[in-house]
Every structure is written in structure tokens, then in C-alpha cells.
């Protein structure tokens, strides 16, 4: 759940709905493991460092040994990062059962760049079901810090939900649509002079909600970390301006939805769900607007 304290958006948990089900492979995890399998099949590869930001209770590892063979598993060095000690303990146990080389760090996601320093590089970084928990004012920094920690041919895979399932609404969570994430990513890339590469977010239709993913491949940037570091201030400024613009647009859209229900009661179950989501979104966006414009 997300909390606000003294006007500042704070996150009480990286993954408020973390769970583990050995018999369930989520579609977003299937996509990640498919990318991993293709890379780890490379016979010339000896080690592959994976940073899983917001690792939760290790659901992404649930079916790892059914997707990867023993040779591929032996190449992986899994780095889990989460705010919850209970979560990392659970994930550590799963990794140990899989005989997976592993390492874990505990801390708030907004501080991960202080715990995992910039000189440590990873071939693979994932943020799964995490972005809606992130303070919009620091989203630009987390994306930047993830990119700067990628190896030259590293991958950044981000997945989240456009809307949370109606039974799992989180007070204060800010969800993003695929087209909004596209604007944020494009703003980031253009700010570091990446003009020929435009990764398009994929969209996932689930039974209770919709999701999106974006897969950034570092080798397609065509710029080195020295240039990216030199432009950090411009990158963060430009992306934050875009985020504030999107927050204002989202706020007006949700306000219009609620205005429509002011004059009429919900007529169907679907109407009631739309109103419930709008009320949660309105609260989150109202609180965000109090901080992003200060």
C-alpha cells in the first residue's frame, strides 16, 4: 500500500500484493523467461547477472527450472531487491532450492541507486508490477539509474498494470497506460540523443485488468554511459516535465469520469467498477498533484 506523509509520497512496500504460487506462471513472467532463455542458450556465455527490482516473494522464479535447463541455470547470478525482509527471505529460499547463485539487498526502491552503486553493471534488469508503487516524481530517476547500470548489451524489462484488479485496489497507487509509458520512454531516449530506436510497449489483456510491458535493449542506444551521465540533469528534467503533463491530463480525465457519475448512479456492475477505480485514481492523482507542482 502507498502512504503519504507530510505531503511527500512514500511507498510502504515495493510490491503490496506479493505472493508465491508454484503452479502459476504469470504471462509477464513468461515473457521475461522467454527473453532469458534465448540469451542463456548462447554457448559462449558463462555468467549472466540479473537484477530483479521489487522481487516480492519470488513468483518469477516459480517455474524457472521448467523453463531453463541446468546449464542455463548455472550461468545465472540472480540479484533480488525488495523493501520487505520477509519477501527477500522467501525468494532467497526459493533461489536456494533451485541451486541458483543469488544475492539479496533490502531497501526502499527510491534508494536502490545508493545501495547498488553505479559501477555495478547487470546484463538484465527487471521491474515487474512495480511502477504503480513508485512516486511519480522519482520515476524518471529510477528509469535513468536502471539504464546506467546496464551492460553494453544489457536488457531492461518493465511490466505493470494499466489498471489494478477491482478487488486489489491500492490507496495512493498511480497506474500508467501503455501510451503514457511510451511518451515517458520516448522523452527519456530523445533526451540522450537516441533518435533511431523507439521500443513500442506491448499490451496484455488479462481477465481482471490490462497490462503493458516495455523492453529496452541497451545496445540499440548508440551512445555510451559517459554521454548519458553528462546529460543526467537534462534527462531527469525533461522526463519529469512529461510526467507532470501526463499527471495533469490523467487528473482531468478522471475528474470527467466522476462528473459523469455525479448526475447519475451506476447502472451496471461495470459502471460500479469504473466509478470505484476512478475514485481510487482521483485520490492518488490529487495527492500527486500536491507534490509535483511544488
Q: What is the pLDDT of residue 246?
A: 97
At 190-203, the pLDDT tens digits run 999 999 999 989 88
Q: Residue range 70-77: average pLDDT?
A: 94
Q: What are the beta bridge partners of residue 76? A: 48
pTM, full prediction: 0.88
At 37-58, the pLDDT tens digits run 999 999 999 999 999 999 888 8
Q: Choose between 77 and 27: higher pLDDT.
A: 77
81-85, 90-94, 176-180: the lowest-pLDDT one: 81-85
Q: Which domains does the chain have, with CATH numbers?
A: 2-243 (3.40.50.150)
Q: Is the pLDDT of residue 79 over 60?
A: yes
Q: Residue range 5-16: average pLDDT?
A: 36
At 91-108, the pLDDT tens digits run 899 999 999 999 999 988
Q: What is the pLDDT of residue 242?
A: 97
Residue 294 — very low, low, confident or very high, per pLDDT cuts 50/70/90?
Answer: low
Percent of the chain past pLDDT 90, that is, above it, reads 63
Q: Is the pLDDT of residue 271 over 60?
A: yes
Q: Residue range 176-188: average pLDDT?
A: 96
Amino acid at each position: 500500500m502507498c502512504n503519504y506523509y507530510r505531503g511527500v509520497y512514500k511507498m510502504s512496500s515495493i510490491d503490496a500484493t506479493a505472493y508465491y504460487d508454484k503452479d502459476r506462471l504469470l504471462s509477464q513472467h513468461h515473457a521475461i523467461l522467454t527473453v532469458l532463455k534465448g540469451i542463456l542458450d548462447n554457448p559462449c556465455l558463462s555468467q549472466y547477472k540479473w537484477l530483479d527490482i521489487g522481487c516480492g516473494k519470488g513468483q518469477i522464479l516459480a517455474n524457472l527450472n521448467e523453463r531453463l535447463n541446468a546449464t542455463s541455470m548455472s550461468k545465472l547470478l540472480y540479484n533480488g531487491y525488495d523493501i520487505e525482509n520477509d519477501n527477500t527471505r522467501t525468494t532467497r529460499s526459493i533461489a536456494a532450492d533451485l541451486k541458483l547463485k543469488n544475492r539479496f539487498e533490502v531497501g526502499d526502491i527510491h534508494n536502490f541507486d545508493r545501495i547498488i552503486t553505479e559501477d555495478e553493471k547487470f546484463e538484465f534488469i527487471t521491474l515487474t508490477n512495480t511502477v504503480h508503487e513508485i512516486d511519480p516524481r522519482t520515476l524518471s530517476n529510477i528509469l535513468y539509474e536502471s539504464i546506467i547500470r546496464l551492460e553494453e548489451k544489457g536488457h531492461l524489462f518493465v511490466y505493470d498494470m494499466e489498471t489494478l484488479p477491482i478487488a486489489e485496489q491500492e490507496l495512493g497507487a498511480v497506474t500508467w497506460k501503455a501510451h503514457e509509458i511510451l511518451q515517458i520512454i520516448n522523452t527519456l531516449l530523445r533526451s540522450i540523443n537516441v533518435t533511431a530506436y523507439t521500443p513500442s510497449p506491448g499490451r496484455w489483456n488479462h481477465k481482471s485488468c490490462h497490462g503493458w510491458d516495455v523492453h529496452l535493449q541497451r545496445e540499440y542506444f548508440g551512445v555510451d554511459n559517459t554521454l548519458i551521465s553528462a546529460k543526467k540533469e537534462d534527462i531527469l528534467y525533461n522526463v519529469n516535465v512529461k510526467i507532470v503533463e501526463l499527471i495533469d491530463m490523467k487528473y482531468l480525465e478522471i475528474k470527467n469520469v466522476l462528473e459523469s457519475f455525479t448526475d447519475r448512479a451506476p447502472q451496471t456492475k461495470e459502471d460500479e467498477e469504473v466509478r470505484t477505480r476512478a475514485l481510487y485514481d482521483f485520490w492518488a492523482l490529487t495527492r500527486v498533484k500536491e507534490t509535483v507542482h511544488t
